[in-house]
Structure 1
Amino acid sequence: MLGPNDLVLCGPPLAHVPLLDRLVPAEKAGFTGLSVMPGDLWALEEQGVSLRDLSARLADHGLQLAEVDCIGCWLPSQVHSPAHARFRELLMNLTPERVIDLAARAGARSIVAVEMMGVTPSPDEAAEAFARICDLAAEHGLPVHIEFLPFGGIPDLAAASAIVESAGRPNGGLTIDSWHMFRSGSTLEQLAAIPGEHIFTVQINDAPALAGADLFQETMTGRLLPGDGDFDLTGLIRTLDRIGSKAPIGVEVFSPAQAGATVDQIIMAWASSARAIIDKARNSDER
């Protein structure tokens, strides 16, 4: 089982690198988990690689499959989202049934659910829809966690936590991504009030104190390595530890500054910067 001392290599920023080509660099950098997108897994199947064999391939490199990121169309109102909605065509294909089946066959630890089309659900719609996907995933022993996005219809920690509470499913929880956390205006005080068992996965990255004019543009191109920006990442990790979070810590950095580096260099930089922040949070006297 992956836990709070494990590092997870988050797949979305590395979508241009075939999944199997990430394994050796991840192992060298000391990651113990990988998150993937559905497209990563579908690409393997197109190449004739059985998803049932993926766990063994990962284990050969000391790795486990963490979350599949993501279910993108799970709210009834998303079906009626505007035709010009961001990533609509892609997200409409990422239904609960398709992604849960994929994650189960691949032996994933859990599944992320997001709202990226800008559709703001009513509290009842969101709770009922989230309960439904949790029930579908429970048939395969899989947890599901909401990742809130400040430019989406579930924009902050308070909104996501309310959905999880209302749905009332034991396999339903939250993703805490540091960029979404701090850019949404969510606070560590709010996080401290959430039961640690509701946090299923954590992703860290950094950014300047001043947000960009376009939050979506910034999240896709303006993230920094942990420790290179102004987010209170040590406070975040300490808060998660205090509430008893057992979630592994992923690293997810979208940045064009990485364009000239090799995959090995990128992954090693992610690991070393994350470890430095985690060590500072847990072992420094500056508390």
Structure 2
Amino acid sequence: MPGAPMTSLCLWAGTLAGHDLWTRIRAAGRAGFAGLSVAPAELDAVLVVGDEPRLRAELTRCGVALACLDPVASWLPDPVAAHPAHRVHAAMSAARCLELGERFGITLLNAIDVTWRALPHAAGAHLADFAARARRRGITVAVEAQVSSGIPNLAAAYELCLAAGPDVRLTIDTWHFFRDPRNRIADVPPEAVGALQLADGPATPGADPVVESTTGRLMPGEGSFALRRLLAATAPHPRCPVGPEVFTTPVPAARAAEVALRARDATERTLSGAAVAGQSQTTLG
């Protein structure tokens, strides 16, 4: 296995979709991840049943931290989810998301659009207000582009970031990035990248991007995406959550750590290759 890269390896929840938070925490710890993402509804449920002490103890025991609250949909007021799976996220208020982030020491919130419609003209102002409220709690907001959403590409996400303030960042999900032909690696502003979700895919897109996004992703380095070039261009800083978001075939909970370890190995190989590519570019430059 390559040496650990100088990034904060994060197990994004999609890699173990269908497994509960407790299983993902244990799998992340056994596979050597520094952190994992968690949905607001999951943390809210922990508090409702009085499991906060258990959660804090399990995180400590497994040696992982909650790296990102993901996804946050209610930065846009009263979002109506286009897909049933997003309704639970749309139902979590912006205020509650901020409370949860502060309570559990989560310093990054990932904002997405779940309406899958053109954003209202006031979207930038809404995000700016949400980001300002987050900032007062020591939390950074990042914006993720998703091909089927009202934030379909890098340009749309970055426009929102600029409208919302200088400290609002980008979350780049590489599957979505490479599935929109308008995105170019040269256009990625490295200083604006706040999180990276790594997945690979075949050169030819599937017929339905929604289906492919959740069933057709490949582990980093196992497809045709220029992941190493993108990583070399973005040069993620040590505190930037970087890790796999690869929706895989469901496995029993007892095998979740195997999936996490495979995803970590693939991520580290890709990161190491990107570091070599970056050094070569610097030498040639």
Q: TM-score, structure 1 length as denominator?
A: 0.86
1:28 is displaced (CA, Å) by 2.3
SS in 2 for 1:189: helix
Query: Quick one: distance in 1 between partners of 2:137 and 2:16?
Result: 27
Q: Which consecutive unaligned segments of at least 5 residues does structure 1 have? A: none
Greater shift, 201-210 or 259-268, is seen at 259-268
Aligned partners of 1:70 and 1:99 also within 8 Å: no
Q: Give 1:117's aligned residue.
A: 115
1:286 is displaced (CA, Å) by 6.8
Q: Give 1:151's aligned residue.
A: 148
Q: Give 2:67's aligned residue.
A: 66
Q: TM-score, structure 2 length as denominator?
A: 0.87
1:222-269 Cα deviation digits (max 9, x unpaired)? 11111111111111110111x86852212111132x547810111111
1:49 is displaced (CA, Å) by 1.2
Amino acid at match of 2:110: V
For 1:78-227, what aligned pairs fall within 5 Å after superposition?
Answer: 79=79, 81=80, 85-87=82-84, 89-122=87-120, 124-170=121-167, 172-185=168-181, 186-191=183-188, 194-196=189-191, 198-227=192-221
Query: Quick one: distance in 1 between partners of 2:6 and 2:169?
Result: 16
CA RMSD of aligned residues (A): 2.4
1:99 is displaced (CA, Å) by 1.3
Q: Which has the higher contact order (CA 8 A, sep 6+)?
A: 2
Query: Quick one: distance in 2 between partners of 1:136 and 1:280?
Result: 38
Aligned partners of 1:15 and 1:40 also within 8 Å: no
Amino acid at match of 1:71: V
Distance change (3 Å), C-alpha of 1:12 and 1:102: farther
1:281 is displaced (CA, Å) by 1.3
Aligned partners of 2:8 and 2:242 also within 8 Å: yes
1:150 is displaced (CA, Å) by 0.7
Distance change (3 Å), C-alpha of 1:143 and 1:254: same
- Is 1:32 the equivalent of 2:34? yes
Q: Could you tell me which of 258, 269, 279 is aligned with 2:272?
A: 279
- Is 1:240 the equivalent of 2:241? no
Amino acid at match of 2:213: T
- Is 1:43 the equivalent of 2:41? no
Amino acid at match of 2:108: S
Q: Which consecutive unaligned segments of at least 5 residues does structure 2 have? A: none
Distance change (3 Å), C-alpha of 1:158 and 1:255: same
Amino acid at match of 1:112: N
Amino acid at match of 1:230: S
- Percent identity between the aligned chains? 30
1:73 is displaced (CA, Å) by 2.7
SS in 1 for 2:109: strand
